[in-house]
Amino acid sequence: MSAKTLNILLVEDDAVDVMNVQRAFKKNNIHSALYVAGNGQQALELLRSAAVPASNRLILLDLNMPRMNGLEFLRALRADPELRSTPVVVLTTSNDERDRVASYHLHVAGYLLKPVTFPAFVELMAALNTYWTRVEMP
């Protein structure tokens, strides 16, 4: 059985974290398409313009970003009838209980803390890929 290719939108303002995700994809041989937005506003523009294909779409979302943070982005996403069913996994440094609760209230599929070390990051991306390539997407 071949795993399906995902269209992943990484919403992340930290260039090092973007690079870590890209390197982890390469190390894990993940061939999903990776699109990057530097903040929530840019992410909404990419999604609404269909720059990120609608099929098998998944969003990896940082919470702490300028202009439009992750929670603001989630509120806008869930309010948009065209985008509201898009699965979102929060990938953040925020271990704040309020952020976690607010994220789940906005129907995220998961809330993951960014690993400190690169090998742990690689392992996390591999686990996420294994899971999402087997899940039936909306």
Neighbours of 83 (CB within 10 A): 18
- Is the CATH number of domain 7-132 3.40.50.2300? yes
pLDDT digits (tens, 9 = 90+) for 87-116: 999 999 989 999 999 999 999 999 999 988
Q: Which stretches of 12-119 are assigned E, i.e. beta strand? A: 33-37, 57-61, 88-92, 110-113
The pLDDT value recorded for residue 1 is 40
Using a cut of 0.85, tell me whether the model's pTM lies above it: yes
> Is 22 a residue whose pLDDT tops 50?
yes
Q: Distance between CA 5 and CA 92 in Å, rounded?
A: 24
